[in-house]
Amino acid sequence: MKPRFSGIIIALTLLLAFIVHPASAASDVQKDLVGNSTIEKVLRSGKLKVGMSTFIPWAMQSKTGEWVGFEIDVAKRLAKDMGVEVEFVPTKWEGLIPSLLTGKFDLVIAGMTGTAQRALKINFTQPYDFTGTQICINKKFADKVKEPMDLNDAQYTVLSRVGVTAAETAKKLLPKAEKRLFSDNGSMVQELLNGNATAIIQSLPEPAQLVAKNPETLALLPGTLTKEPISMGVRKGDPDTLAYLNNWIVNVKAEGFLEEKADYWWRSMEWTSLLE
């Protein structure tokens, strides 16, 4: 009977180990996830590093050199609610995702649409705003170009930014037009103002605001071509950070903060005094 009794003891011990150890391992994994989350690291350091790219009026420098814009206000409010400082890390648009993945900053707040292709590399929050694609043209083409699809001709040149969804929209809807992409806004806009291109295709509200600033040279084509959700970008494998940001977006939306900022930056030109 003794060998049989010993066998039962061994079996029960093994069963107990099987039950307890997975639970302990799961607890360790959970602790690692929490401790290594971006949110925890930001709280420990006291600083939130935000990757952004210069787009007017999303993010730009004022006449005093301060960063201002819709995304800047969103990032500042997020940092304030977390009780930390914010540091902006200006980055070329095409470098935002690679730089996030290498840890150059904590998250992307840059008017980015969470496309299926981008979501293969990073995770996106729920949308905190929506934008669309719009076109403005040099007025010397106004007699022939009345609507967006008129640009689908090899004689016309359409400008946009490298890596943005507007460039993909132009490629898809205006396949016959010549497309030229720029890494910065300034040289792109100057090219259109000089009459060296027909049109700029960009996200709202940029085309309309370019026309408002240069009414004697530029004209806005009617309608919008797309509706695009704007989200924050975070590294994969970080559920706590994603959950926190989604919860934060729900709260500031309900409060009216995002709508207030959209009214100021998208539907008014009051902010231009910050630049001039």
CATH number at residue 250: 3.40.190.10
Within a domain: 243 = yes
Closest CA to 53 of 78, 37, 75, 38: 75
What is the span of the domain harbouring residue 243?
A: 42-130+228-274
- For residue 196, what pLDDT is reported? 96
- For residue 126, what pLDDT is reported? 97
Same domain, 90 and 204: no
pTM score, whole prediction: 0.73
Strand ranges (E), the chain: 47-52, 60-61, 67-68, 85-90, 107-112, 123-124, 129-138, 157-161, 178-182, 199-203, 218-220, 227-234
Which residues of the chain, if any, have pLDDT below 70?
1-35
- For residue 20, what pLDDT is reported? 56
Same domain, 177 and 218: yes
Same domain, 146 and 75: no
- For residue 18, what pLDDT is reported? 55
Same domain, 85 and 211: no
- For residue 105, what pLDDT is reported? 98
